[in-house]
Amino acid sequence: MALLAGPKALFYCLRSDTILHFPAWTRDEICARLSLLVPAPAHSGERERSQRIIERVGVRNQPGSLRKNGNTILRQYLTYLRVEKGLRPLTCEAYQRDLSLFAEFLEGTHALPMTAGQAQVSGFLEHLQKHGVQSRSIARKLSCLRGFYKWLLLDKRIGHDPTVNLESPSSWKVLPKALAPSEVERMMEHAGIAANHPQADAVALRDRAIVEMLYAGGVRVSELTGLGVEDLSLAEGRMLVRGKGDKERIVPLGRIAVEALDSYITRGRPELASRRGESRLFLSTRGAALTRQWIWRLVKRLDARASPHVMRHSCATHMVENGADLRTVQTLLGHADISTTQVYTHVALGRLKAVHRAHHPRATRRGGN
Say whether 309 is catalytic.
yes
Say whether 312 is catalytic.
yes
Q: For residues 220 and 251, is the Cβ–Cβ distance under 8 A?
A: no
Whole-number Å distance between alpha carbons of 291 and 242: 16
Say whether 313 is catalytic.
no
Query: Among the options 220, 280, 313, 318, which is catalytic?
Result: 220
| Beta-carbon contacts of residue 283 (< 8 Å; ≥ 6 apart) | 206, 269, 272, 273, 289, 290
By C-alpha distance, which of 208, 311, 223 is closest to 263?
A: 208
Amino acid at residue number 292: R
Query: Among the options 280, 313, 318, 335, which is catalytic?
Result: 335
Query: Among the options 82, 238, 244, 292, which is catalytic?
Result: 244
Query: Among the options 131, 312, 313, 318, which is catalytic?
Result: 312
Say whether 353 is catalytic.
no
Query: Among the options 27, 47, 173, 309, which is catalytic?
Result: 309
Whole-number Å distance between alpha carbons of 299 and 179: 13
Give the total residue count for the chain.
Answer: 369
| Beta-carbon contacts of residue 337 (< 8 Å; ≥ 6 apart) | none
What sign for the dihedral angle of Cα 259, 261, 265, 271? positive
Cα→Cα distances 306→96, 206, 355, Å? 30, 19, 29
Say whether 136 is catalytic.
no
Say whether 286 is catalytic.
no
Query: Among the options 77, 149, 264, 344, which is catalytic?
Result: 344
Amino acid at residue number 47: R
Q: For residues 101 and 33, is the Cβ–Cβ distance under 8 A?
A: yes
* Phi, psi torsion values for 127, nearest 5 degrees: -60, -45
- Active-site residue numbers? 220, 244, 309, 312, 335, 344
